[in-house]
Amino acid sequence: MSGFPIVSENSISYPGEAMNTTGGKSEHSDIHLRSVQAVLGYQIQAGDEIVGQVIDFMMDDKSWVIGQLVVNTGNRFSGKKVVLLPSQIDRISYEESKVFVTVTKEAFDQAPAYDADRASLSPVSH
């Protein structure tokens, strides 16, 4: 026995999910809602190229709106981190674990590096 309560999956209702009369999730639940945790690690695809992966999100602490995505443009240890705006996202493929963007690979290459210590928030430009 653990020290944590165990809750049946059918009894959990998340924001944006209506419960139906049988206690399960409604057929009208928003299937497009995902936790930011689910999107961490998704590859960023610009045109025909993979240019990086999602490593973090910056949110407004009052409205919980995602303001920027932090993208690592290289490998895990030597990559440059850049900021991507949600408006620069064309679509997200949950099946492929990819975020398709409207900016070019060159824009990522030329974007200023994101520095969390100095909170430099200059996004990738088109």
Write the pLDDT tens digit of every residue in 48-65: 999 999 999 988 888 888
pLDDT at 7: 44
d(CA 64, CA 12): 21
pTM of the model: 0.67
Element (H, E) at 105: helix 105-110
Architecture label for domain 34-110: Roll (2.30)
- Report whether 16 contacts 34 (CB < 8 A): no
Indicate the domain borders of the chain.
34-110
pLDDT at 21: 47
Low-confidence ranges of the chain (pLDDT < 70): 1-34, 76, 118-126
> Which of 43, 48, 39 is CA-nearest to residue 105?
48
Q: Which two tokens stand for residue 10?
A: 């059918």
d(CA 99, CA 46): 9
Q: Are strands 66-72 and 81-84 parallel, antiparallel or unpaired?
A: antiparallel
> Which of 81, 75, 33 is CA-nearest to residue 57?
81
